[in-house]
C-alpha cells in the first residue's frame, strides 16, 4: 500500500470536532492549546461546544480544521507513524494545503494558525456580503462548466473554482453571474445546479485583495522544504521548493482548486491509498470517483487512529 495523506477544506467543520482526540491524547490537547495561544482565542472551546454559526465563520473554520488535522498528525507521529515514512505525497483542499504543509514541517503550527486567521478574514473582506456567490454544477465536465461560466460572465466574474471530481465542479464569482450560470447550466445537461451556503466567492478573481494580503503575510514567515512533496492545488503537481510553495499559496487564493487532477497525479505516480487526516470524510469520499483503483480512509478520532496503527 503506497499512501498519500490529504487534508480537508472548509465545509468539513462540525461542533465537537477534535474533542474525542483531546480527551484521549495529551498531544492532541497540546495542539489545540498551541493554536488557542497563537490566536489569543479559545478556539478549541468553539470547536468542542459551538455554536455552529460562529465556528462556520471563515476566520474560525480555517484554523479550526487545520488544528484537528494537526492533532491527528501529531498523535500518529507519536505512535511511530511519521508522515515522511508513511506517505510519499501530501495534499490539501484549499485551506487544507496549509494543514498539509504544517504536517510535513514546512510551516510551524503557530504560524499556520495565524496565516489561516489572516486568510479567512481577508477572504471574507474581499467582497461585500451578498455581492458574490458560489454554485455547484453536478453532472457537467470541467470543460462544460468552464463554458457555462464563460457564457454567464457577461462582463462580471464567473469562473470554475473547484474541480472536485468527475461531474462535480464549483463555480465562483459575482452573484448576478452565478445566477445566470445556474440557469444556463440547466439547459446544458447539468443534473443539478445549486447555490452553496458560503459567505464569499472563493477561488476566483474577486479574491484579488485577499491574495495581496496573503502575499504580505506569507513574506514574513519561514517556509521549509517539506519532508515529502506537496501536490499543489493550483498546479496539480508536486512541489518542494519553499519559495515556489510561497508563491503558489498566494496564487491559490484566486486560482482554481484542481483537486481531481491532483488526485489523478498522485494515482499515476504510485499512490494506491488516500488517508484523510482531520474532520469529516469528504476527500476520502471523492477518491474512488476520481480513480477507480484508489482506496481511501479518514482518520478523525481515537478509534480511527487505533485501526490505522494496526494496518501500517
Other residues' Cβ atoms within 10 Å of the Cβ of residue 301: 18
Provide mean pLDDT across the span 82-108: 97
pLDDT tier for residue 202 given thresholds of 50, 70 and 90: very high
Domain of 163 in residue numbering reads as 132-198
Whether 278 contacts 65, CB under 8 Å:
yes
Residues 150, 187: one domain?
Answer: yes
pLDDT at site 238: 98
Q: What is the pTM of this model?
A: 0.97
Domain shared by 231 and 301, yes or no: yes
pLDDT per residue as tens digits for the range 209-256: 999 999 999 999 999 999 999 999 999 999 999 999 999 999 999 999
Looking at 94, 99, 256, 279, which residue is catalytic? 94
Q: How far apart are CA 294 and CA 225, in angstroms?
A: 27
**Which residues contact residue 115 at a Cβ distance below 8 angstroms, ignoring those fewer than 6 apart?**
98, 107, 214, 217, 218, 221
Strands (E), the chain: 3-7, 87-92, 132-138, 158-165, 168-174, 192-195, 230-231, 238-239, 273-277, 295-299
Residue 182 shares a structural domain with residue 43: no
Instruction: Give the CATH number, domain containing residue 27.
Output: 3.40.366.10
Cis geometry, peptide bond prior to residue 276 (ω within 30 degrees of 0):
no
Average pLDDT score over residue span 173-180: 98
Residue 47 and residue 190 in one domain? no
Active site residue 40: no
The whole-number average pLDDT for the span 289-311 is: 96
* Identified catalytic residue from 99, 106, 174, 203: 203
**Where does the pLDDT of residue 198 fall: very low under 50, low under 70, confident under 90, or very high at 90 and above?**
confident
What is the Cα–Cα distance from 255 to 257, expressed in whole angstroms? 7
* The domain boundary residue, chosen from 181, 198, 215: 198
Q: Is 122:214 a contact under the CB 8 Å cutoff?
A: yes
CA atoms of 43 and 120, how far apart (whole Å): 14
> Are 102 and 227 within one domain?
yes
CA 83 to CA 77: how far, in whole Å? 7
Of the three residues 198, 225, 246, the one that is the final residue of a domain is: 198
Query: What's the domain count of the chain?
Result: 2
pLDDT digits (tens, 9 = 90+) for 131-170: 999 999 999 999 999 999 999 999 999 999 999 999 999 9
Is the same domain home to 300 and 170?
A: no
203 and 256 Cβ atoms separated by less than 8 Å: yes
**12 assigned to active site:** no
User: What is the rounded CA–CA span in Å between residue 128 and residue 288?
Assistant: 37
Amino acid at each position: 500500500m503506497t499512501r498519500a495523506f490529504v487534508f480537508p477544506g472548509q465545509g468539513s467543520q462540525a461542533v465537537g470536532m477534535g474533542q474525542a482526540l483531546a480527551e484521549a491524547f495529551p498531544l492532541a490537547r497540546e495542539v489545540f492549546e498551541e493554536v488557542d495561544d497563537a490566536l489569543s482565542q479559545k478556539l478549541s472551546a468553539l470547536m468542542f461546544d459551538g455554536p455552529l454559526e460562529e465556528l462556520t465563520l471563515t476566520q474560525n473554520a480555517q484554523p479550526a480544521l487545520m488544528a484537528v488535522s494537526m492533532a491527528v498528525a501529531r498523535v500518529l507521529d507519536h505512535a511511530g507513524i511519521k508522515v515522511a515514512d508513511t506517505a510519499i505525497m501530501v495534499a490539501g483542499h484549499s485551506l487544507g494545503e496549509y494543514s498539509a504543509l504544517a504536517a510535513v514541517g514546512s510551516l510551524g503550527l503557530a504560524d499556520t494558525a495565524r496565516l489561516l486567521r489572516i486568510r479567512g478574514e481577508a477572504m471574507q473582506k474581499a467582497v461585500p456580503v451578498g455581492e458574490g456567490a458560489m454554485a455547484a454544477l453536478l453532472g457537467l465536465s470541467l470543460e462544460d462548466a468552464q463554458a457555462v461560466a464563460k457564457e454567464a460572465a457577461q462582463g462580471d466574474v464567473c469562473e470554475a473554482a473547484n474541480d472536485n471530481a468527475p461531474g462535480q465542479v464549483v463555480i465562483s464569482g459575482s452573484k448576478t453571474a452565478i445566477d445566470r450560470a445556474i440557469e444556463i447550466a440547466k439547459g446544458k445537461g447539468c443534473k443539478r445546479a445549486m447555490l452553496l451556503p458560503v459567505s464569499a466567492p472563493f477561488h476566483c478573481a474577486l479574491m484579488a485583495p485577499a491574495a495581496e494580503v496573503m502575499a504580505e503575510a506569507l513574506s514574513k514567515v519561514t517556509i521549509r522544504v517539506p519532508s515529502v512533496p506537496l501536490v499543489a492545488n493550483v498546479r496539480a503537481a508536486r512541489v518542494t521548493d519553499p519559495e515556489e510553495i510561497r508563491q503558489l499559496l498566494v496564487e491559490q487564493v484566486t486560482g482554481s482548486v484542481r483537486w481531481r487532477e491532483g488526485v489523478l497525479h498522485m494515482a499515476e505516480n504510485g499512490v494506491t491509498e488516500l488517508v484523510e487526516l482531520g474532520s469529516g470524510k469528504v476527500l476520502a469520499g471523492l477518491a474512488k470517483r476520481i480513480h477507480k483503483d484508489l482506496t481511501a480512509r479518514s482518520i478523525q478520532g481515537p478509534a480511527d487512529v487505533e485501526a490505522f496503527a494496526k494496518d501500517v
